[in-house]
Structure 1
Amino acid sequence: MTGADATGGAGAPSTPAVRRLLVVSDSDSYTKWGAALASALPDAWHTELALLLSDVLPSERQLAAALAGSRWAAPAGSETDRVVTAAAARTSRDKAEATASAPTQAAGTVGTALGTETAHATETNDATESTGAAKTARTTEASQTDQVTEAAKTARTTEATAADRRMPVPPHDEAELTYESAASNSRSVPSTARPRYVHLDQLVDLVREMRADAVLLAFRGPLVRVTAGLLNAVPDRPVLIAGFPGLTIPAVPKAIIYREQVDLVVLHSRREVREFARLAADLPAAPRFGLATLPFLPSRTTDASRRTLPDGDVVFAVQAKVPSSLEERVHLVGVLAQAARRQPHRRFIVKVRARAGEAQTHAETYDLGELVRDPAIARELGFTPPPNLLVADGPMSAHLERAAALVTVSSTAVLEAIAADVPALLLDDYGVGPRQLNVVFEGSGLFGDGAALAAGAWRQPDPAWLDDNYFHGPAADDWVERLEELLAARAAAPLPVLARRHNRTGGALRRAFERRKMLGSHDRTFAGRASVLVAVPVRGVVRTVRRVRRALTGVAAVDPSQPVAESRAAERVTR
């Protein structure tokens, strides 16, 4: 039978067919999203999770955080669960130590920022003035800064205890890639309790082995393009699904083009569906769009007792891409430190996605956690951040349980805070617009500056903004309905092969380069290695020609800030 298996024999009561979904992901944020979305499916679905080997594969610690609350969450009492529990205990321990710390606490203590403050004015704009005055000093101290930063990274790793150590990265050797079957969870149709790890070369065989009815490609756009091309060639191919783990406003054409070979793209707000549909109307072909509440958001309820946290943490959600410059990120450290000085009764948590040596979806050129700990940055600011400014990792949901407020420049964590009824503050010191990845929050009522942060002037979202932006209510979700329509079409006849229509110049060499770029060291093909030697110089020439053409025609340079790093081009795409 094409599509899902039939259940029940002749004369037997009709029972729902077992549907099989394979989730394939690579990075921490896409794994979190894919696992959560699959966990929201009805009980009749059997789901499995595979991590595709690439250079952004999460560590075991990151994986445990990403899977928390999903079908693949670590069982209570497991080694992974013990590590996560130990990390939570460490956080409580750090709070007690920060509270008890004397003003002369030594700088550089693990878990605290850099020690205690020196006698300086408490106004937030001190950080700006100090930063400007220190530009000359930065030039002469550059080599010292690099040495100190490297030393801090080493110390950060070697001082981890058995309680909070990072779990080993899963085996990457092909001989060790085994599928770990586990006991079923509470779902009526069991799903595997641990993900498997696969090379790209093994993906097609995995889809066939599982007899998947649908495959969720939980990847960044360029890797969706690589994998969707392979799966479109599978006879009686499954329904192919893709989507985004967070904010996608403003929508850009290339985010759709990367996903032109999938059947369904899952979006998370009425506004996103509207804007993507508008862009798709100008393209020769586009997938269907389905609406789903962000799957890792808790049900939003207003509980007055939840907000009685006078000494709760202020959690700052780090965004890897904004603010982008080193100068702005140093300024941000100063803003956070000044706010922590003004509110010594509470902890200020700089919540990072990755520890030293761990990968994340978007590369963080200037690691904010390292900047907080760097003595050279303290000298540039002109004061030492206080001991209640801490750096921590772990699931955002756990941090929000103890939070009085969530602060960020731009992060999906704002939506998690809103859902948990935690006040929020979006810092607008670095601007509001596409480059800052925060244009979607215009009209939300959540923006404020560093002075508001120092004063503890938290914000609540405008109800009118919520309905169009991520809080439309589950009754409006239709992505499962769209998926069932596609499955019904597949049951009637094989789904058509979706052709790649854009960016085909270069043929096989281009495809080999795209694969190599996304898989990195896990691309085992000779063509991939060879493509780098040809494609990188050619790509540089093409980009130079484009810049010159824009300069001559007076067309502004395109905005490189597509919210999910899908595109460096926001201009309209020619057919």
Structure 2
Amino acid sequence: MKVLALAGYDSFFNAARLIAPYFEKLGATVDYALVKARRRKQISHEQLNELGLGNKVQYVDIKDYCESGEILKFDIVLSCLEGLSTRRLFHYLSSYGERRPYVICVYPGLILRYDYDGFAARAPADQLWLNCQRDLDNYTKMCEAYEVDASNSRLFGNVSLLEKIERTPNASDTGPIVFFEQAIIPRYYVERKYLVDKLCDLASRHPRRRFLVKARAAGSKATLHRSWYPIEDLFDEKIRLEGSIPSNISLTEQSAGQLLAEAAHCITVSSTVAIEAIHANVPTTIVRDFGAHDDYGLQYFYGSGLLKSLSEIQIGKHLKVDENWLSKYTCSPYSNLSLIDSVKKDYKRKRDIQSSLRCQIGQELQEEISSYGQEYILSRKYMSKENWLSRLMRNLKKI
């Protein structure tokens, strides 16, 4: 059994890396491929080395890789891709019918926003592994609305929990307080400057505690989302304008796993790391200072009992997570590893890709705009405002 893990960014490769050993235990071989998804850098060699993948990764264009037939060498595709690459994958695989590989789609992190866009893109998968019961319920509702078979969905759990955290003795009493930054949450300068100021205030209030700030990506590292105002630059700006920052706060390049092993407290806005911290019994606070905005994903944590403003955080006083929220919004994959065993039995039974596409776009609308080309539809250019040249070309076609 040959498995191909497709990914485009660091967290996506991390998900593939964590799942791969369980396929290998079944006797499968696992290859890795980086799918070209944009012109600028998607991942650095440093990041690949940190993931232990090094030179194991081949670089592919999904269109060329599928049309050349190279992808047919594999029995299973483990797709850890963002939406556009996922839509392209199923489009180019559909022409092969039963000869195509069996496709499993996996989410690398929490589904914080655009839930249904993501579900629709992945609906053609032979299996769609979801993070929690909430995601499973929402996917099922979508499929029912579009009269699409939802039986391909599986409750797998949060993939990142496959990386076990071994807590350091006395970490809760003596470890650092760690803030896990996100590249675009919050997004804007005023918000991010406020974040840095408040983190420094928090460190000043607790001068005997060590505070670490884990940037989502620093230096030459790349991520799916690029920050407009990198947090390390904002700390430098504060030092330049004010002369200093508290001596007990600093940035760190340690991995999230290393930090959670040692942390006395985890603070974040809406990072997937929060789920890892909760399951590792690390006291956790979700920062609510930036308001209720869908793009920031804080709604995922409503009902968790973990939301506080940065000024309200009291180090040493831990918030208790709501058990009902925990059971609906998180799930340990260790309870569902039998799914991987079942793939060995099921991988020759393929789902009809075309029947699931109506979740993405209605057949009649697709036919209406088909003259613009398939890439126009896959990349959803029809959902953007026309420029003058597009309008001119459209009107010329009517002549």
Per the shorter chain, which TM-score range?
A: 0.7 to 0.9
Q: Which amino acid aligns with 1:233?
A: S
- 2:196 is matched with 333
Distance across 2 between alignment mates of 1:328 and 1:46 = 46
- 1:408 is matched with 268
Distance across 2 between alignment mates of 1:406 and 1:432 = 21
**For 1:30, which of 6, 12, 20 is the aligned residue?**
12
Distance 1:417 1:207, change over 3 A: farther
- 2:391 is matched with none
Structure 1 residue 477: deviation in Å?
Answer: 5.7
Distance 1:342 1:48, change over 3 A: same
Please tell me whether the aligned partners of residues 342 and 455 of structure 1 are also in contact (alpha carbons under 8 angstroms).
no
Structure 1 residue 425: deviation in Å?
Answer: 0.9
Please tell me whether the aligned partners of residues 405 and 423 of structure 1 are also in contact (alpha carbons under 8 angstroms).
yes
Matched, 1:219 2:81: yes
**For 1:254, which of 117, 120, 124 is the aligned residue?**
117
Summarize deviations over 1:342-379 as a string: whole Å, max 9, x none.
2233332221222244321122222222212224x864
Secondary structure of 1:350's partner? strand
- 1:243 is matched with 106
1:105-116 matched pairs, under 5 angstroms? none
Structure 1 residue 277: deviation in Å?
Answer: 1.0
Matched, 1:57 2:39: no
Structure 1 residue 220: deviation in Å?
Answer: 0.8
Distance 1:222 1:214, change over 3 A: same
Distance 1:506 1:283, change over 3 A: same
- 1:347 is matched with 210
Distance across 2 between alignment mates of 1:513 and 1:350 = 41
Matched, 1:229 2:91: yes
Consecutive unaligned residues in structure 2, runs of 5 or more:
388-399
Distance across 1 between alignment mates of 2:274 and 2:139 = 22
**For 1:434, which of 290, 294, 316 is the aligned residue?**
294
Distance 1:296 1:359, change over 3 A: same
Distance 1:321 1:306, change over 3 A: same
Distance across 2 between alignment mates of 1:354 and 1:233 = 38
Distance 1:394 1:231, change over 3 A: farther
Please tell me whether the aligned partners of residues 291 and 478 of structure 1 are also in contact (alpha carbons under 8 angstroms).
no
Secondary structure of 2:118's partner? helix
Please tell me whether the aligned partners of residues 252 and 279 of structure 1 are also in contact (alpha carbons under 8 angstroms).
no
Please tell me whether the aligned partners of residues 285 and 307 of structure 2 are also in contact (alpha carbons under 8 angstroms).
yes
**For 1:292, which of 131, 156, 177 is the aligned residue?**
156
- 1:558 is matched with none
Please tell me whether the aligned partners of residues 79 and 104 of structure 2 are also in contact (alpha carbons under 8 angstroms).
yes
May I ask how many residue pairs the two structures share in their alignment?
Answer: 375
Structure 1 residue 207: deviation in Å?
Answer: 6.5
Distance across 1 between alignment mates of 2:133 and 2:338 = 11
Please tell me whether the aligned partners of residues 225 and 261 of structure 1 are also in contact (alpha carbons under 8 angstroms).
no
Distance across 1 between alignment mates of 2:331 and 2:125 = 26
1:68-467 matched pairs, under 5 angstroms? 73=52, 194-204=56-66, 208=70, 211-234=73-96, 236-248=99-111, 252-285=115-148, 288-298=152-162, 306-375=169-238, 379=241, 384-432=244-292, 434-453=294-313, 455-467=315-327
Please tell me whether the aligned partners of residues 290 and 477 of structure 1 are also in contact (alpha carbons under 8 angstroms).
no
Secondary structure of 1:276's partner? helix
Structure 1 residue 215: deviation in Å?
Answer: 0.6
Distance across 1 between alignment mates of 2:69 and 2:158 = 26
Summarize deviations over 1:98-144 as a string: whole Å, max 9, x none.
xxxxxxxxxxxxxxxxxxxxxxxxxxxxxxxxxxxxxxxxxxxxxxx
Per residue, is there more helix in 1 or in 2?
2
**For 2:354, which of 493, 498, 504 is the aligned residue?**
498
How high is the sequence identity, in percent, across the aligned residues? 22
Distance across 1 between alignment mates of 2:240 and 2:201 = 12
Summarize deviations over 1:236-293 as a string: whole Å, max 9, x none.
1111222311112567332222223322211011221112111221024355111112
Please tell me whether the aligned partners of residues 241 and 263 of structure 1 are also in contact (alpha carbons under 8 angstroms).
yes
Distance across 1 between alignment mates of 2:24 and 2:3 = 12
Q: Which amino acid aligns with 2:34?
A: L
**For 2:22, which of 40, 45, 55 is the aligned residue?**
40
Distance across 1 between alignment mates of 2:94 and 2:189 = 43
Consecutive unaligned residues in structure 1, runs of 5 or more:
1-18, 68-72, 75-79, 81-179, 181-193, 519-534, 543-575
Distance 1:479 1:251, change over 3 A: farther
Q: TM-score, normalised by structure 2?
A: 0.82
Please tell me whether the aligned partners of residues 311 and 345 of structure 1 are also in contact (alpha carbons under 8 angstroms).
no
Structure 1 residue 234: deviation in Å?
Answer: 2.8
Structure 1 residue 62: deviation in Å?
Answer: 1.9
Secondary structure of 2:264's partner? strand
Summarize deviations over 1:520-567 as a string: whole Å, max 9, x none.
xxxxxxxxxxxxxxx59x82249xxxxxxxxxxxxxxxxxxxxxxxxx
Distance across 2 between alignment mates of 1:279 and 1:362 = 27
Distance 1:443 1:539, change over 3 A: closer
Distance 1:294 1:424, change over 3 A: same
Please tell me whether the aligned partners of residues 104 and 127 of structure 2 are also in contact (alpha carbons under 8 angstroms).
yes
Please tell me whether the aligned partners of residues 299 and 419 of structure 1 are also in contact (alpha carbons under 8 angstroms).
no
Structure 1 residue 223: deviation in Å?
Answer: 1.4
Distance across 1 between alignment mates of 2:192 and 2:314 = 17
Summarize deviations over 1:432-468 as a string: whole Å, max 9, x none.
4633302222222222221233645343423333222
Distance across 2 between alignment mates of 1:455 and 1:475 = 33
Task: Report which stretch shifted further, 477-486 or 195-204.
Answer: 477-486
Q: Which has the larger radius of gyration?
A: 1
Q: Which amino acid aligns with 2:189?
A: L
Q: Which amino acid aligns with 2:258?
A: A
Distance 1:328 1:283, change over 3 A: same
Please tell me whether the aligned partners of residues 269 and 293 of structure 1 are also in contact (alpha carbons under 8 angstroms).
yes
Secondary structure of 1:233's partner? helix
Please tell me whether the aligned partners of residues 242 and 262 of structure 1 are also in contact (alpha carbons under 8 angstroms).
yes
